[in-house]
Amino acid sequence: MPIEPLRCAGALIVDPEGRLFFQRRSPHRRLFPNCWDIVGGHLEPGETVEAALRREVTEETGWRVSEILGQVGEYHYVGDDGLARIESDWLVRVDGDLATPMLEAEKHTEYRWLGHGDLDLLDEHRDVNDGLIRRIAERAFTMLGSTGS
């Protein structure tokens, strides 16, 4: 019997200047160690994507989702652990002090707000054939440009 893919929710958090929030995963993480990533994680049993999105933003930053602007995309991938995942990523605005996110100790080591011209940073420590996080960010910036947000 095949195993169902794990479901994940991801948040591309946009600030008033139109930049996106990224955090660096700890070098001790099993998946994507030391890589830049968006906020997000796995859905808990019985949890909706929206509920997981809101929970993960608060857990990983201390902020609260104030507005969901739209879906950036749904991505299928297999992690280094061999498990298939379906990740649903959303462009969001948040309430809170954007200058002082409360990163989860042991999970994330630093953060950055990036503009469209800063996306080369996302390629650090990524496999040359990966590029998924950069493609997700580029799509989010395209959405921001089309909505005038």
Burial class (CB in 10 A: 0-12, 13-18, 19+), 17: exposed
pLDDT band at 148 (very low <50, low <70, confident <90, very high): low
Q: Is the pLDDT of residue 127 over 70?
A: no
- Tell me how many degrees the CA angle 8-104-135 measures, rounded to the nearest 5: 45
Class at the top of the CATH hierarchy for domain 6-147: alpha beta
pTM: 0.92
Contact 23, 110 (CB under 8 A): yes
pLDDT score at 105: 85
- Tell me: the pLDDT tens digits for 59-101? 999 999 999 999 999 999 888 788 899 999 999 999 999 999 9
Q: What long-range pairs does 64-71 form, CB within 8 A, spacing at least 24?
A: 64/94, 64/95, 64/96, 65/11, 65/92, 65/93, 65/94, 66/92, 66/93, 66/94, 66/95, 67/92, 67/93, 68/92, 69/14, 69/93, 69/143, 69/147, 69/149, 70/143, 70/147
Check residue 59 and give left, alpha or beta (phi > 0: left; psi -120 to 50: alpha): alpha
**Helical H segments across 1-149, by residue range:** 49-61, 132-147
What average pLDDT does the segment 12-22 reach?
Answer: 98
Show me where the domains of the chain are located.
Answer: 6-147
What average pLDDT does the segment 102-123 reach?
Answer: 93
Q: Regarding predicted confidence, which is higher, 105 or 9?
A: 9
pLDDT score at 4: 85
pLDDT score at 71: 97
Three-state DSSP class for 61? Answer: helix
What average pLDDT does the segment 131-138 reach?
Answer: 90
